[in-house]
């Protein structure tokens, strides 16, 4: 805990000066009672100073949340514990903790706050020595995202109220709120064949997870396939060989830009619908035992590059995709028409690309057609307000905006 001494020194110093004057007057007048009164005042001032310095020593503030991950609409319980682990009581202590308004408090006290999008949990109490106090809260996760609880601020001081001591508990709790996952039937996407003819990898694509053996190096073999240990042992270049890919590869493409140009503005509801569509498609594809990955043209805060999830399977892969989707923000690194052309060079050939978007502009349509000619199958899940413009006949289009609107009308929000 980071501590600092706050206001009150002026009045405390004035207190000390007053009683020093009392003692001086008592000495001049030879009045022992006056001197004793002044000494008592000085002792009280010393006690005030020491008490203030020790007030927040061995005082801890802890949060316990019922879970660090949740979906939109789910409730979480939080218990905050304030503990005084020393033999010195606290005549008063004030605690303030910050909670984003995306986590709506439905049980527990919330103080008024002038800061936008922030709620303040505030408590004022006294504590005996070695006492522990708990407060309980219940909040509803109303918006997708990575939400921080904290930091907390503790204030206490001397019994006379002259000095105040502040401690900032910098440890924060991160709550990840996943986007809503909707069954594909409810989105108007046929559950039997939602992605049309899903293709497996091309026979010419070798799967690094399925090694087959070694052979001599041939002109044109990539250096990354050279087995250097075997080369050293056999005294000639040896390369690793792999079996052809036999997996069904699905890559979910999350389009952040909702307008043209991509940096001008964005429609938050459209972006949330894109994220909902992406999470629903990924959930269904992983349930079908497909190998699923994700790319986006979003700009993360820390990495400085688009959010990507390498292809994978299983529950852990779904968690990784949902976590990445929770972190999606409305800041595109570049238009998806450009990013898709670049990212497609790194994707397994023959993959099915599921493009979730709310905005289909001419350059984007051209890039989809260019990627299609490289051997990829394209499926567009469209959530825009306007009709999706015509695309190449081989590109399957699911326009699900109407179905999302019907879910909204049934009080089943798909956006935060």
CATH 3.40.50 maps onto the chain at: 184-201+246-409
Write phi, then psi, for 201 (nearest 5 degrees).
-60, 150
Residue 133, beta-bridge partner list: 82
Residues 42 and 201: their CA atoms lie apart, in Å, by: 85
pLDDT of the residue at 350? 82
* Tokens linked to 278: 């992406």
Distance of CA 262 to the CA centre of its chain: 23
Topology (CATH) of 184-201+246-409: Rossmann fold (3.40.50)
Residue-by-residue pLDDT tens, the chain, 416 positions:
555 555 556 665 666 777 778 878 778 887 888 788 778 878 877 888 888 888 899 999 999 999 999 999 899 999 999 999 999 999 999 999 999 999 999 988 888 777 778 899 999 999 999 999 999 999 999 999 999 998 999 999 888 877 888 888 888 899 999 999 999 888 888 877 777 765 554 443 455 555 667 878 877 677 777 888 888 888 888 887 755 444 688 999 999 998 888 777 778 889 999 999 999 999 999 998 888 999 998 876 555 556 789 888 889 999 999 999 999 988 888 899 999 998 888 888 788 999 999 999 999 999 999 999 988 999 999 999 888 899 999 999 999 988 888 887 776 555 55
pLDDT of the residue at 51? 87
CATH 2.60.40.10 maps onto the chain at: 1-178
- Indicate the pairing of strand 90-100 with strand 152-157: antiparallel
Residue keyed to tokens 């006949």: 393
Q: Which among 235, 188, 244 has a CA at the least distance from the CA of 381? A: 188
pLDDT of the residue at 245? 47
SS (H, E, C) the chain: CEEEECCCHHHHHHHHHHHHHHHHHHHHHCCHHHHHHHHHHHHHHHHHHHHHHHCCCCEEEEEEECCCEEECCCEEEEEEEEEECCCCCEEEEEEEEEEECCEEEEECCCECCCCCCEEEEEEEEEECCCCEEEEEEEEEECCCEEEEECCEEEEEECCCCCCEEEEEECCCEEEEEECCCCCHHHHCCCCCCCCCCCCECCCCCEEEEEEEEEEECCCCCCHHHECHHHHHHHCCCEEEEEEECCCEEEEEEECCCCCCCCCCCCCHHHHHHHHHHHHHHHHHHHHCCCEEEEEECECCCCCCCCCEEEEECHHHHHHHHHHHHHCCCCCECCCHHHHHHHHHHHCCCCCEEEEEECCCCHHHHHHHHHHHCCCCEEEEEECCCCCCCCCCCCCEEEECHHHHHHHHHCCCCCCC
pLDDT of the residue at 413? 56
For 164-182, b/e burial (b = at least 16 CB within 10 A) is bbbbebeeebebbbbbbbb
Q: How many CA atoms lie within 13 A of 78 on its CB side?
A: 28
pTM: 0.77
Residues 278 and 350: their CA atoms lie apart, in Å, by: 20
* Tokens linked to 56: 């927040």
**The domain at 1-178 falls in which architecture?**
Sandwich (2.60)
């Amino acid at each position: 805990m980071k501590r600092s001494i706050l206001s009150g020194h002026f009045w405390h110093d004035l207190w000390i000066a007053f009683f020093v004057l009392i003692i001086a007057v008592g000495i001049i007048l030879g009045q022992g009672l006056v001197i004793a009164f002044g000494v008592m005042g000085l002792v009280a001032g010393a006690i005030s100073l020491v008490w203030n310095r020790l007030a927040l020593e061995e005082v801890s503030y802890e949060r316990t949340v019922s879970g660090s991950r949740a979906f939109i609409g789910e409730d979480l319980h939080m218990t905050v514990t304030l503990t005084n682990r020393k033999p010195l009581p606290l005549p008063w202590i004030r605690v303030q903790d910050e909670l984003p308004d995306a986590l709506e408090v439905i049980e527990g006290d919330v103080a008024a706050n002038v800061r936008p999008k922030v709620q303040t949990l505030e408590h004022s109490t006294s504590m005996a020595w070695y006492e522990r106090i708990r407060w309980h809260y219940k909040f509803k996760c109303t918006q997708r995202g990575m939400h921080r609880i904290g930091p907390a601020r503790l204030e206490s001081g001397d019994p006379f109220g002259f000095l105040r001591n502040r401690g900032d508990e910098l440890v924060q709790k991160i709550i990840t709120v996943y986007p809503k996952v909707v069954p594909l039937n409810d989105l108007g996407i046929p559950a039997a064949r939602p992605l049309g003819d899903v293709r497996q990898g091309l026979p010419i694509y070798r799967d690094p997870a399925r090694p087959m053996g070694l052979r001599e190096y041939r002109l044109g073999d990539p250096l990354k396939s050279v087995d250097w240990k075997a080369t050293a042992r056999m005294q000639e270049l040896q390369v690793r060989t792999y079996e052809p890919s036999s997996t069904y590869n699905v890559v979910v493409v999350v389009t952040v830009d909702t307008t043209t140009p991509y940096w001008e503005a964005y429609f938050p509801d459209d972006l949330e619908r894109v994220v909902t569509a992406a999470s629903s498609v990924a959930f269904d594809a992983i349930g079908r035992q497909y190998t699923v990955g994700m790319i986006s043209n979003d700009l993360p805060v820390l990495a400085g590059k688009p959010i990507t999830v390498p292809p994978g399977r299983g529950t852990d892969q779904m968690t990784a995709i949902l976590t990445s989707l929770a972190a999606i923000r409305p800041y595109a690194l570049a238009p998806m028409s450009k990013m898709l052309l670049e990212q497609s060079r790194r994707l397994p050939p023959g993959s099915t690309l599921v493009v979730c978007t709310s905005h289909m502009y001419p350059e984007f349509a051209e890039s989809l057609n260019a990627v299609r000619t490289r051997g990829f199958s394209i499926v567009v899940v469209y959530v825009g307000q306007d009709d999706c413009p015509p695309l190449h006949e081989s590109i399957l289009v699911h326009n699900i905006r109407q179905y999302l609107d019907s879910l909204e009308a049934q009080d089943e929000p798909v956006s935060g």
